[in-house]
Amino acid sequence: MGGGKGLSKYELNSAEERYQPDSGDTVLANKLGIIDEYEMEALESGLLLMLYEQLFIEGPLPTTLAFNSIREWHRQWLGNVYTSGQGDYVTLT
């Protein structure tokens, strides 16, 4: 992760940076008020595992891969954590 003050795993491509207040600019603004980067990483990882299980174990495998499918999976994965779906772009550093 960020590893220290002033470092961030995110490079936001907007004029207004959107970090969670009191997170030391290490956690993106989120609906849950999480400010600890390790707590957020654990949450994101757990939610991703749940999505993988839903998509690839419980349901039929996708026969085609389209941008809209990926966008929907992303919404299912993080839609309850972040305000998303607006086509925002974040570069991981």
pLDDT in tens, the chain (93 residues): 444 455 456 565 553 468 999 999 999 999 999 999 999 999 999 999 999 999 888 878 778 888 988 899 999 999 999 986 555 555 666
The set of residues, in sequence order, having a beta carbon less than 8 Å from that of 28 and lying 6+ positions away, is 10, 18, 19, 20, 40, 82, 90
37: which 2 tokens? 């980067």
Instruction: Output the pTM of the full model.
Output: 0.71
